[in-house]
Amino acid sequence: MARVFVVDDEPDMVDLLATILKSDGFQVETDTDGRSALARLLADPPDLVLLDLMMPDLDGMELLKLLRLDVKGADVPVLVVSARSGHQDQLGTLQLGANAYICKPFSPRELVRQVRQLLEISDADTSA
């Protein structure tokens, strides 16, 4: 069972994402604070991270940058889930190392499809 870590400062969104993922068989961990999430991600990297961009203190872009700078987080697949739908936001996160980007509101089916696809790619990369 793949372990997915959800980082979003909105508790309702965290609950929604966790419910969707758990109902599809994923093990889910969550955090609503960027700083504590980064520490947890680096201490025990998950199979995949779902990351919001707009968070107080340490936002998603900075968290992504710091995650990618650490050897433990460099290869963890990251799916950004954000209300920011602008092309520049999407391009910026992909340039920082995000693997995919999905805009809120999203289809639960599309979210799960993207998560599964990223996990398959990650599994193929590690077994090659």
Mean pLDDT to the nearest integer, 89-118: 93
Rounded-to-integer distance, Cα 122 and Cα 95, Å: 18
Task: Note the pLDDT tens digit of each residue in 101-112.
Answer: 999 999 999 999
Domain count, the chain: 1
Q: Is the pLDDT of residue 11 over 80?
A: yes
pTM for the predicted model, two decimal places: 0.94
| Interval 32-44 mean pLDDT | 97
DSSP string, 4-20: EEEE-S-HHHHHHHHHH
pLDDT of 90? 86
* Domain of 86, in residue numbers: 3-127
Indicate which CATH number applies to the domain containing 15: 3.40.50.2300
Q: What is the mean pLDDT of residues 71-80?
A: 96
Q: Residue 69: what are its φ and ψ, rounded to 5°?
A: -75, -20
Q: What pLDDT, on the 0 to 100 scale, is given for residue 128?
A: 61
